[in-house]
């Protein structure tokens, strides 16, 4: 059996699609499972355990007819038995129809709907991993969504061990404030302000002076983390170069404090206690129903209006 999944979203969407791929692999252990993703999103598959090949396509409006024709040719040459489309655009639906793939599964009521053989109702108010997993019902898979899980390459685990030695840490708390190409874009408006991070860091230092705080810095972040470290000189900084190393350093943490981001999803997959800050987004769509992973939702829709004391009360159980 050959299956292809078209997943147009970013790195975070790919990670939330992993449980769907894991269920496919469990049901069809000998199947060839491929995905087609945006070039920037390919990085996510460094830690995926259920895909045989990752192909890239921009999915954007800038694609020429030749680009679409090339992708169509690739899909026809593979003779896929089934295709799953996680996006909603009419272009991907038309592409699947032209490919001749006999089973084409996606969401009804979207642009791709008319071109599908099997349609699923999109339940947009649930955890996004569950929304993706619902697509499998049309392939006869009715089991609950498995827990989000990843596989970290040994080289990245070795890097994290060396990084911990460099920083002189064993137990530690990780902070991630947002932004950067490595882990997905977080706009400046969704970053939690530095002065409020400073209040949190100072509280930790008073209560747990021997517990190191480590901030994750994206390779292209030349402003946010340096400014935060200038305000909080005791912070240690780690700069993972790819998602595997990022996951490996997260795996060793006692707690992750972060905004809604790729590091948040990796922490969930690694079962690291996570406290995430949300502005306008609903935490229930991005975090599973589990006490280990808690979201603090701004009552105003603006992340900067979350008071540090609100966060600290969650941390210390006050």
Residue 184 has pLDDT above 90, yes or no: no
Alpha helices for the chain (secondary structure H): 11-27, 65-78, 90-99, 128-133, 154-167, 194-207, 224-231, 243-251, 262-269, 308-316
Residue 35 has pLDDT above 70, yes or no: yes
The pLDDT tens digits of the residues spanning 287-300 come to 999 999 999 999 99
Residue 59 has pLDDT above 90, yes or no: no
The pLDDT tens digits of the residues spanning 248-269 come to 999 999 999 999 999 999 999 9
Whole-angstrom distance, CA of residue 304 vs CA of residue 13: 25
C-alpha count within 13 angstroms, C-beta hemisphere, residue 69? 3
Residue 175 Cα distances to 67, 99, 196, 237, 250, angstroms = 40, 45, 13, 10, 10
The pLDDT tens digits of the residues spanning 73-125 come to 999 999 999 999 998 778 888 889 999 999 999 998 877 888 999 999 999 89
Domains of the chain (ranges plus CATH)?
Answer: 2-139 (3.40.50.2000), 154-316 (3.40.50.2000)
How much is the pTM?
A: 0.94
Q: Which pLDDT does position 317 carry in this prediction?
A: 87
């Amino acid at each position: 059996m050959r299956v292809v999944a078209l997943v147009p979203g970013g790195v975070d969407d790919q990670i939330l699609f992993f449980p769907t791929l894991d269920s496919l692999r469990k049901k069809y252990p000998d199947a060839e499972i491929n995905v087609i993703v945006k070039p920037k999103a390919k990085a996510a598959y460094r830690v995926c355990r259920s895909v045989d090949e990752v192909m890239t396509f921009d999915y954007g409006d800038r694609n020429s007819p030749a680009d679409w024709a090339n992708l169509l040719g690739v899909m026809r040459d593979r003779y896929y038995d089934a295709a799953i489309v996680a996006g909603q655009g009419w272009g991907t639906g038309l592409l699947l129809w032209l490919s001749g793939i006999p089973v084409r599964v996606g969401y009804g009521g979207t642009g791709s709907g008319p071109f599908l053989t099997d349609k699923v109702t999109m339940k947009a108010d649930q955890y996004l991993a569950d929304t993706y997993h619902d697509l499998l019902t049309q392939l006869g898979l009715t089991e609950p969504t498995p827990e989000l899980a990843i596989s970290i390459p040994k080289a990245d685990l070795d890097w994290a061990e060396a990084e911990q030695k460099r920083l002189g840490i064993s137990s530690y708390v990780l902070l991630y404030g947002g932004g950067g190409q490595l882990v997905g874009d977080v706009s400046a408006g969704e970053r939690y302000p530095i002065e409020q991070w400073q209040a949190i860091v100072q509280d930790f230092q008073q209560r747990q002076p021997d517990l190191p705080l480590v901030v994750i810095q994206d390779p292209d972040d030349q402003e946010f983390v340096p400014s935060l470290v200038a305000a909080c000189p005791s912070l240690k900084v780690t700069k993972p170069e790819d998602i595997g190393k990022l996951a490996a350093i997260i795996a060793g943490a006692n707690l992750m404090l972060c905004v809604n981001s790729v590091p948040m999803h990796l922490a969930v997959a690694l079962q690291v206690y996570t406290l995430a800050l949300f502005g306008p987004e609903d935490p229930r769509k991005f975090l599973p129903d589990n006490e280990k992973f808690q979201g603090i939702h701004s009552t105003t829709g603006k992340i900067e209006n979350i008071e540090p004391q609100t966060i600290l009360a969650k941390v210390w159980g006050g």
